């Protein structure tokens, strides 16, 4: 009888894989200016590495999701980790910024393999509340990692430079590769053998035609839009508009990351997953409106930060529950479902990020928060349907009484 991995090992591996993609994308951000000097490149050319890695993270999930349904989770995961090690080494020895950007695309694709497979493994091994608890941890890490990575990178940039950051990523890749070889396949063999390449296209059509699943995916993507709008705008708002130092900015990043992580972890305490999603979406819209009005009227830094902390907490409530609800809708196509869920989140994040820089950043950021929060709530209501929404509100009313 094949020995199974322990729950602790799975939790550790899935947590590291979930954080891996955001760290690949964001950890080197503080070293961008020094990279411009190293490659004799303009700031816009240096930003190509960030753009291509985001594209890779979106495309890679669509690629590795179906492959993990066809060949199991373990083999594609090992391939992704080898791809990551090779692309990271090539980044370190790039001759110019365009070579670096091309290798970052491959690095992003490889990092995406870890993200999509981590959700698929969770859906393979757990169901119901146990799945929700596992996804709560993954959701907490997924919320914290994009904002924690630049802080970690900022600490090391002055000490070891951008090449040192990539050496750290290389070391993390080696650890994950070793864990991948120790990982026991989670997808039953009969499900692998049944999945032909023609079945992948069929499963893709099935996933896209699932109205409820797609609504959950869009709700998740709009919530990610709030997150990436925050990441893109906060350095300029905190440091340039309010005049605080990079240290204060890093402290705020850390505090706000805690809001997301704590909310994602607490979401499993709701009686139903739909309650967490709806509560988070309603809170996001209310707080986004308040933040928008505050920014447009020149609020103080403390008002901005307090409303932002609450907004990100509301957003964090939706990450875990929405992921669990979406994966339950398409359990039979878990790889494809996980791929599309992650790809849409990064795709919308890539679209939203430059929007906050159009015109007055204070106004643009506030409006982006509102639009994304409104889209998130609308999609949640569509996914849940009238009957389940009425049940939610009736349950909430009875609880208050």
Kindly list the domain boundaries of the chain, sorted by start residue: 1-195, 209-401
Q: What is the pLDDT of residue 97?
A: 87
**For residues 94 and 102, what is the distance between their CA atoms, to the nearest angstrom?**
10
**For residues 339 and 356, what is the distance between their CA atoms, to the nearest angstrom?**
27
For residues 107 and 56, the answer to whether their CB atoms sit within 8 Å is: yes
Question: Which of 124, 244, 258, 138 has its CA nearest to residue 192?
Answer: 124
**For the segment 170-199, what is each residue's pLDDT rounded down to a tens digit?**
998 999 999 999 988 877 766 665 556 566
Q: What is the pLDDT of residue 232?
A: 74
Q: What is the pLDDT of residue 1?
A: 44
For every residue of 359-393, DSSP letters joined together read S-HHHHHHHHHHHHHHHHHHHHHHHHHHHHHHHHH
**Which CATH superfamily groups domain 1-195?**
MFS general substrate transporter like domains (1.20.1250.20)
Q: What is the pLDDT of residue 218?
A: 92
Average pLDDT in the chain = 80
**For residues 302 and 233, what is the distance between their CA atoms, to the nearest angstrom?**
16
Within this chain, domains 1-195 and 209-401 share the same CATH topology: yes
Candidate CATH numbers 3.30.300.30, 1.10.357.140, 3.30.2420.10, 1.20.1250.20; the one for domain 209-401: 1.20.1250.20
**For residues 20 and 9, what is the distance between their CA atoms, to the nearest angstrom?**
16
For residues 18 and 137, the answer to whether their CB atoms sit within 8 Å is: no
The C-alpha angle with vertex 214 and arms to 211 and 66, in degrees rounded to 5, equals 115
Is residue 136 exposed (0-12), middle (13-18) or buried (19+ Cβ within 10 Å)?
buried
């Amino acid at each position: 009888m094949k020995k199974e991995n322990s729950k602790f090992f799975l939790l550790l591996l899935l947590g590291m894989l979930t954080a891996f993609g955001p760290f690949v994308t964001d950890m080197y951000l503080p070293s961008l200016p020094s990279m411009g000097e190293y490659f004799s490149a303009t700031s816009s050319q240096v930003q190509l590495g960030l753009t291509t890695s985001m594209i890779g993270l979106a495309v890679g999930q669509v690629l590795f999701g179906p492959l993990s349904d066809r060949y199991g989770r373990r083999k594609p995961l090992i391939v992704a980790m080898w791809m990551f090690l090779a692309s990271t080494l090539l980044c370190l020895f790039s001759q110019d910024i365009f070579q670096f950007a091309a290798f970052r695309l491959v690095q992003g694709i490889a990092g995406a393999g870890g993200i999509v497979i981590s959700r698929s493994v969770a859906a393979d091994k757990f169901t119901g509340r146990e799945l929700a608890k596992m996804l709560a941890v993954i959701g907490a890490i997924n919320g914290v990692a994009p904002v924690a990575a630049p802080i970690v990178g900022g600490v090391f940039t002055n000490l070891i430079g951008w090449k040192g950051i990539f050496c750290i990523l290389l070391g993390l890749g080696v650890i994950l590769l070793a864990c991948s070889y120790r990982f026991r396949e989670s997808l039953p063999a009969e499900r692998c053998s049944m999945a032909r390449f023609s079945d992948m296209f069929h499963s893709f059509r099935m996933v896209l035609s699932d109205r409820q699943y797609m609504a959950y995916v869009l709700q998740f993507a709009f919530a990610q839009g709030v997150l990436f709008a925050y990441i893109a705008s906060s350095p300029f708002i905190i440091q340039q508009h309010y005049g605080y130092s990079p240290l204060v900015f890093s402290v705020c990043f850390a505090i706000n990351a805690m809001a997301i992580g704590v909310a994602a972890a607490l979401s499993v305490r709701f009686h139903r997953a739909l309650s967490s999603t709806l509560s988070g979406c309603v809170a996001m819209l209310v707080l986004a409106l308040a933040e928008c009005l505050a920014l447009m009227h020149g609020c103080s830094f403390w008002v901005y930060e307090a409303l932002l902390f609450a907004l990100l907490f509301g957003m964090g409530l939706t990450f875990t529950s929405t992921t669990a609800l979406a994966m339950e809708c398409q359990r039979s196509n878990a790889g494809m479902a996980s791929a599309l869920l992650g790809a849409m989140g990064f795709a919308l994040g890539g679209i939203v990020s430059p929007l906050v820089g159009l015109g007055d950043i204070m106004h643009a950021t506030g409006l982006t928060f509102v639009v994304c929060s409104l889209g998130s709530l609308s999609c949640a209501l569509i996914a849940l349907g009238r009957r389940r929404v009425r049940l939610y509100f009736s349950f909430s009313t009875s609880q208050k009484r």
